[in-house]
Structure 1
Amino acid sequence: MSGLTDKANEQLDVFRTRPPDHIRFPYLFLDATYVKARLNHQIVSQAVVIATGVTEDGGREVLGVMVGDSETEAFWAEFLRSLRERGLTGVRLVISDSHSGLVKAIRKVMIGAAWQRCRVH
């Protein structure tokens, strides 16, 4: 079983670190959900954040996923910086809920991009 887990972890690492520079994504959706996870022999709630890029013609692609303790500004900023460091450029509009930590991180890291509150939230 550990061999299977190791293989899955390798594939996940390749996915999470691949550069998103093969196509332009002028629109970026950001969202989070919480899941229960076992951490240090305890069940805790963990934030799973996801970035979905949208192309000019409406195509969508998951660009990144990250797990952390909560949706703090620092956590969101780290996630957004990781996307930029991997090659994400040209984002004109970021769409998300109005979580204060997320909005602050967007303004700090996604310089030049406008922000819009998601109509679903």
Structure 2
Amino acid sequence: MSVAVTIAVGVNTDGRREVLGMAIGASEVEPLWTKFLRDLVRRGLSGVKLVISDAHEGIKAATARVLSTT
């Protein structure tokens, strides 16, 4: 069985990396990314300046939908 593990890492004001969240789903589809990003925003994520990814269509759509309002 194959699953997608989604991990968000951020850099704090001291320049240190921190794991912000993790999710497991059946695949990297847009609804998984949207829920994951909305959960991060709900927990206080804001001011995102850079998203590094493999340009998967799901994360691109979710990033535009969720993070464009932060």
TM-score by length of 2: 0.89
- Structure 2 segments unaligned to the other structure (5+ residues): none
Distance 1:57 1:86 in 2: 20
Aligned to 2:57: 100
Counterpart contact for 1:92–1:112, Cα < 8 Å: no
Work out which of the residue numbers 33, 52, 57 in structure 2 matches 1:76. Answer: 33
Q: Deviations over 1:31-56 (max 9, x none)?
A: xxxxxxxxxxxxx2111100000134
- Report sequence identity in percent: 53
Q: Which has the higher helix share?
A: 2
Post-superposition offset of 1:112:
5.6
Which residue does the alignment assign to 1:61?
A: 18
> 1:93: how far off?
1.6
Cα distance, 1:60 vs. partner? 0.2
State which structure, 1 or 2, has the greater radius of gyration over its C-alpha atoms: 1
In 2, the alpha carbon distance for the partners of 1:61 and 1:110 equals 19
Output the aligned Cα RMSD: 1.5
Cα distance between partner residues in 1 of 2:2 and 2:8? 20
| Structure 1 unaligned regions, length at least 5 | 1-43, 114-121
Give the number of the structure whose residues are more often strand, by fraction. Answer: 1
1:111 is paired with a residue whose SS is: helix
Runs of 4+ more than 3 Å apart: none
The structure with higher relative contact order (CA 8 Å, sep 6+) is 2
